[in-house]
Structure 1
Amino acid sequence: MAKPISTETQNEAMKVAKATQKPGQAKEQTKLIALGIEKGIAEYKKQQKSKARDRDKSRKQDIKAKARAAESEVNEDVDVESNSKGHLLPWGLLIISWLGFIGYIVIK
């Protein structure tokens, strides 16, 4: 079901049709021209709305992609920090155990 064309669009189309009216042109012809112009305006508005929706979708996708990228960078930073701390733990335990072993042998 087609949406009815607004009166603003109809008035605009009639103004354009009257502005381009040729001498001796019948009112019926002018009305037909105005109807064609109305349809053109309505189609143009549909296209512009569609383009606006597409731009919105694209913009939202860009925002989501940037958010995901920032989130992954934060996660990578956390992983690097936890890996560096986790890397020191085994070495620290090894050194403490060797010091304990050497201390046990020296005291004995």
Structure 2
Amino acid sequence: MTKNSYQKSSQQTQEEALKIARGTQRPAQTKEQTRLIAQGIQKGIDLYKKQQKEKARDLNRKLKKISNQKAQSIEPDDHEIQERIVYRQHWLPWLLLLLTWLGVGIYFLV
């Protein structure tokens, strides 16, 4: 199966190309020349639309690929890392508390 690379232009594109061709028409220009210019403009518009569609498809593919990669990289990280927080206190307050209790104990015993 062969694929035709030429697609029929929309009516809007044809009208737009004819409008542009008439806008740039020279005084001694024939209708045939204007029609040929309009066809050239129409082909240019069609080529531009085709390029834009291809760019959009490429961008969508890249975005889809990146989102798939992100989704795959996120899946293994679902297991949260359990952190164990250990509060370490300085020994000086405990020593002072012990000495205070010893001092109070000795004071009441004596």
TM-score class normalised by the smaller sequence: 0.5 to 0.7
Q: Paired residue for 2:61?
A: 57
1: CA distance, partners of 2:76 / 2:25: 63
Per-residue CA distance 1:10-40 (angstroms, 9 max, x = gap): 0000000000111111111000000000000
Superposed, 1:67-78 pairs within 5 Å as 67-74=71-78, 77=80
Per-residue CA distance 1:43-77 (angstroms, 9 max, x = gap): 000000000101110111111011011012225x4
Q: Paired residue for 1:3?
A: 7
Q: Paired residue for 1:22?
A: 26
Determine which structure has more spread, i.e. the larger CA radius of gyration.
2
TM (norm. structure 1) is 0.67
Letter matched to residue 55 of structure 2: K
2: CA distance, partners of 1:71 / 1:7: 49
Percent of aligned pairs with the same residue?
Answer: 47
C-alpha RMSD of matched pairs (Å)? 1.7
Residue segments in structure 2 that go unaligned for 5+ positions in a row: 83-110
2: CA distance, partners of 1:66 / 1:8: 41
* Number of matched pairs: 79
Letter matched to residue 24 of structure 1: A
TM (norm. structure 2) is 0.66
Task: Give runs of ≥4 in structure 1 deviating > 4 Å.
Answer: none
